Amino acid sequence: MSKSRWGSIGLSLLVIIALVLWLVSGEVKVAQQEAPDMDGASVAEPPSVEVEILQSRLYEPGLMLQGQLEPWRTVVISAGVSGTVEELTVDQGQRVKQGQTLLRLSDDGRRASVERWQARVRKLEADLAAARRLGASNLASQSDILGLESDLSAARAELAQVRHAVNDLAPKAPFDAIVNRRDVDLGNLVQPGTALFELVQVDRLKATGQIPQQSVGDVAEGQSVYIRLLNGGSLKGTVSFVASAANPQTRSFAVEVTVENPDLKRVAGGSATLRIALPETRATFISPAYLSLGDDGRPGVRYVDEDNRVVFRNVTLLNVTTDGAWVSGLPDEIQLITRGGGFVSIGQEVQPVDRSRDRG
């Protein structure tokens, strides 16, 4: 063949090869632009969070107050008359009964005065009776009768006064009590008003405190009160009084609690913590570590609902200690998120994993 023929055949082969390569490259490009087949492709699963199943329970919340314990009754026995202390029948710390004599003062002629005025009263009564009989016969004037009546009234008043003075020579306990202080000794000369003894009743105490205005509506007479003493002991009481008006300076309401103290614990005059029991409510006990703040700044918790979605709900703190917190406002049963809550958002679907059984 001539060179020209071979040249045309070679050129034709080159054109065919280029055409084939162009067609092949076009098919690959079209295949890359088409959407891949989804059959058999894996779907992303929801993230896992650890949860703990919590049940609500009946809980008796309490209002905590700082209070003061006082004797149920306190009285200072003072001298009613002047005299010298001749006998002390009780001493400090002694228990006394109502009506028991505490001491005796010198008589200083008071009983003689009683006898003298008794005689004076008897004489005036006889004179008045005779004058009335004479007056019935017009032998005694009405003026004489009125004069005798006046003298008799004055004598009876004097008799009552000296009798009262004699009673004051031996003052008595007005109620069952303990002698908390004795202010006199044998031989002391006392004047009317001189303090002799201080008596206190401590088998029953009175606890006082102040209720904040936002909580006073939850407190009423008859509610139980738990009193925690500074020495670690405790007493029980009952609300006996709630003020109807607040203190204008503190805006708080005074409360009084009747506290039984049968063991005569020496706590009167000291401070104590009062826990006033409020009506029972359903509440959930959780660790304070699982509390967080919502967008409104109120405390709440995250949990997984029945649709496996993350929920945040505000709660009311009823009581918070280092061991845990009692809160209200949650469903009766929740799946509390204990781990992984920071990596999921509210409303997101999750896979809850209950680890409480594994730890139990």
Check: CB of residue 275 under 8 Å from CB of residue 62.
yes
Q: In terms of Cα–Cα distance, which of 81, 156, 172 is closest to 114?
A: 156
Contact, 79 vs 193, CB < 8 A? yes
Residue 310, amino acid: V
Write down the pLDDT at residue 287.
86
Residue with tokens 């009946």: 58
Instruction: Enumerate the β-bridge partners of residue 95.
Output: 178
3-state secondary structure of 242: strand
Residue 232's Cβ-count burial label (10 Å; 0-12, 13-18, 19+) is exposed
The DSSP code sequence of 190-243 is E-TT-EEEEEEEEEEEEEEEEEETTTGGG--TT-EEEEEETTS-EEEEEEEEE-
pLDDT of residue 319: 81
pLDDT at 304: 87
Predicted local confidence at residue 44, as pLDDT: 72
Query: Tell me, what's the pLDDT at 35?
Result: 47
Beta-bridged to residue 306, according to DSSP, are none
Sign of CA dihedral 14, 20, 26, 28: negative
Q: How far apart are CA 179 and CA 157, in angstroms?
A: 34
Task: Sort 334 into a burial class: Cβ within 10 Å, 0-12 / 13-18 / 19+.
Answer: buried
Closest CA to 51 of 287, 285, 283, 303: 303
The pLDDT assigned to 335 comes to: 87
- Evaluate whether 360 touches 354 at the Cβ level (below 8 Å): no
Residue ranges and CATH numbers for the domains of the chain are 49-59+281-359 (2.40.420.20), 63-71+200-277 (2.40.30.170), 107-168 (1.10.287)
How many Å apart are CA 64 and CA 275, to the nearest integer?
A: 5
Report pLDDT digits (tens) over 27-58: 444 434 444 555 544 567 888 888 888 888 88
183 touches 196 (CB < 8 A): yes
**CA separation for the pair 81, 46 (Å, rounded):** 93
Exposed (0-12), middle (13-18) or buried (19+): which is 38, by Cβ within 10 Å?
exposed
3-state secondary structure of 102: coil
User: 311: which strand partners?
Assistant: 303
pLDDT < 50 stretches in the chain: 1-4, 6, 11, 15, 22, 24, 26-35, 40-41, 360
Q: For the whole model, what pTM was predicted?
A: 0.65
